[in-house]
């Protein structure tokens, strides 16, 4: 069953999410000696990453992955790596060899191929013989996309063994991207999806309804999913009048 948490505002979501992520990382590191977390880009998680950097986490045991990346260089304003670098990595001392950057500058296909290889070599394997990420932090688009998996896209049909995919026609600019596959997101031990603002309320309502290729977030594994929203993005906000 998906866990839905509603907070008063975006700052409260960031405070709660940072604390929950830190606790999860500590628990996994205590159990297995290392934790593998993947981050999304966009604007929603920025404050969460800033607060996460202040949490008492033993970062030496953390592997940082990415859920998706735009096909730009790491210093580009559009880069998800740059977002993480300026918020989390600037404070959290994660060993460089444990920061697994998607090489967007290589383009969608070569970048995805390289990342799939790195995942297969450096991420633990799940029971489904799939790269096991302990936690994936996701945002959601107004259209219900997560990472760079967009409504009705062929990437949703990449199959259960696909790890990482190239995207050439993202409706959200820039058009060329690299994304984890739906199979990797569904194999993850847990996904934490963050949404704030009235513009996300319909997408949150849709993702909690029946699974549909038209709402990629609805295809996440529900029993391994936590959704954290502010009042404005709550699926009931409009319905409360
Ligand atoms: C990206 C993100 C994307 C994002 C959503 C929400 O690279 O664009 O990974 O999936 O999470 O589009 O974006 P906002 O948080 O900016 O609304």
Nearest-atom index, ligand 1, CA of 199: 17
pLDDT value at residue 108? 98
Helix (H/G/I), strand (E/B), else coil: 223: helix
- Model pTM greater than 0.95? yes
CB 133 within 8 A of CB 21: no
User: In the predicted model, is pLDDT for residue 240 greater than 60?
Assistant: no
**Topology (CATH) of 3-240:** Rossmann fold (3.40.50)
* Alpha carbon of residue 45 to chain centroid: 9
Spacing, Cα 42 to ligand 1 middle (Å): 4
pLDDT value at residue 196? 98
CB 43 within 8 A of CB 14: no
Cβ of 147 less than 6 Å from ligand 1: yes
Average pLDDT of the chain is 96
d(CA 95, CA 198): 38
Pocket test residue of 17, 49, 102, 140 for ligand 1, highest count of atoms within 8 A of CB: 140
User: In the predicted model, is pLDDT for residue 241 greater than 50?
Assistant: no
Cβ of 40 less than 6 Å from ligand 1: yes
pLDDT value at residue 137? 98
Token pair in block for residue 91: 């404070």
User: In the predicted model, is pLDDT for residue 237 greater than 80?
Assistant: no
Pick from 9-13, 19-23, 106-110, 124-128: least confident: 124-128
Helices (H), 35-172: 46-52, 80-84, 108-122
Task: Name the closest-CA residue to atom 12, ligand 1.
Answer: 141
- For the segment 100-125, the average pLDDT, to the nearest whole number, is 96
Cβ of 41 less than 6 Å from ligand 1: yes
Phi first, then psi: give them for residue 36, nearest 5 degrees.
Answer: -115, 115
d(CA 159, CA 137): 22
| Residue 238 pLDDT level (bands cut at 50, 70, 90) | low
What count of other Cβ atoms lies within 10 Å of the Cβ of residue 217? Answer: 29
Spacing, Cα 138 to ligand 1 middle (Å): 8
| Residue 236 pLDDT level (bands cut at 50, 70, 90) | confident
Nearest-atom index, ligand 1, CA of 70: 7
């Amino acid at each position: 069953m998906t866990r839905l948490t509603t907070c008063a505002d975006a700052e409260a979501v960031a405070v709660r999410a940072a604390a929950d992520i830190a606790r999860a990382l500590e628990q996994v590191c205590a159990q297995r000696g290392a934790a593998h977390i993947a981050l999304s880009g966009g604007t929603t998680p920025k404050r969460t990453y800033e607060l996460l950097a202040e949490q008492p986490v033993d970062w030496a045991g953390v592997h940082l992955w990415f859920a998706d990346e735009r096909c730009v260089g790491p210093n580009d304003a559009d880069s998800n790596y740059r977002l993480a670098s300026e918020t989390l990595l600037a404070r959290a001392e994660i060993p460089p060899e444990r920061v697994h950057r998607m090489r967007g500058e290589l383009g969608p296909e070569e970048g995805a191929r390289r990342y799939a290889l790195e995942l297969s070599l450096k991420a633990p394997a799940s029971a489904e013989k799939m790269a096991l990420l302990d936690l994936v932090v996701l945002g959601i688009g107004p259209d219900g996309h997560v990472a760079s998996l967009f409504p009705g896209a062929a990437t949703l049909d990449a199959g259960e063994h696909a790890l990482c995919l190239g995207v050439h026609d993202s409706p959200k600019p820039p058009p060329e991207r690299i994304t984890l596959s739906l199979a990797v997101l569904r194999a993850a031990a847990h996904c934490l999806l963050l949404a704030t603002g009235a513009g996300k309320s319909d997408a949150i309502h849709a993702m909690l309804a029946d699974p549909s290729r038209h709402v990629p977030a609805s295809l996440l594994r529900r029993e391994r999913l936590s959704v954290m929203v502010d009042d404005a993005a709550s699926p009931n906000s409009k319905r409360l009048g």
